[in-house]
Amino acid sequence: MSQLKTLLLGSWRMTSWVYEILETGEVLDALGQNTRGITSYSADGRMMVFVLRTDRSTPAALVPTSNEKIALYDSMFAYAGTYSVEHDRIVHHIDMSWDQSWEGTEQVRYLETDGRTLLYRSAPAQNPLDGKDCVHTVRFEKITSTSSH
């Protein structure tokens, strides 16, 4: 197992997620301020990402209305699959996703990590949240037994 893959093993708490719109240079929070998220990498080659807006509304009843379902869908981002590490990048091979169009795709993330912090940068691509060409930058910190919250 490569040193980089070993450093990635475990769970990581997202500390920020922004994207830069390439046409204008504007930098925006991807799902709003104070988004919470987690990504995990296991030794068997599986990974997952799960992100939620902190201002998600709670449906009025157990079964959400159509509008409540839309709001819930629009306030999250999630996928899982396998991963491979290639020099300074990680490739997520998606086999399940909150957005069916991502299944079967490969998501490339250029990364830096020291084992305590993790930085992802996406290749320029169309943003799945608003359709604009952009680059995403996501920061994480390693979850340890003393940092579980």
- Report yes or no on 149 lying in a domain: no
Domain that includes residue 131, residue range: 3-142
Considering just the CA atoms, what is the radius of gyration of the chain in Å?
16
* Long-range contacts, 112-118 (Cβ 8 Å, 24+): 112/88, 113/4, 113/7, 113/8, 114/7, 115/7, 115/142, 116/141, 116/142, 117/141, 117/142, 118/8, 118/12, 118/39, 118/142
CATH at residue 74: 2.40.128.280
Q: How many domains does the chain have?
A: 1
pLDDT mean over 112-132: 90
Prediction pTM value: 0.88
- Report yes or no on 148 lying in a domain: no
Q: How far apart, in whole angstroms, are the C-alpha atoms of residue 128 and residue 125?
A: 9
13-56: pLDDT as tens digits: 999 999 999 999 999 998 888 899 999 999 999 999 999 999 99
- Report yes or no on 104 lying in a domain: yes
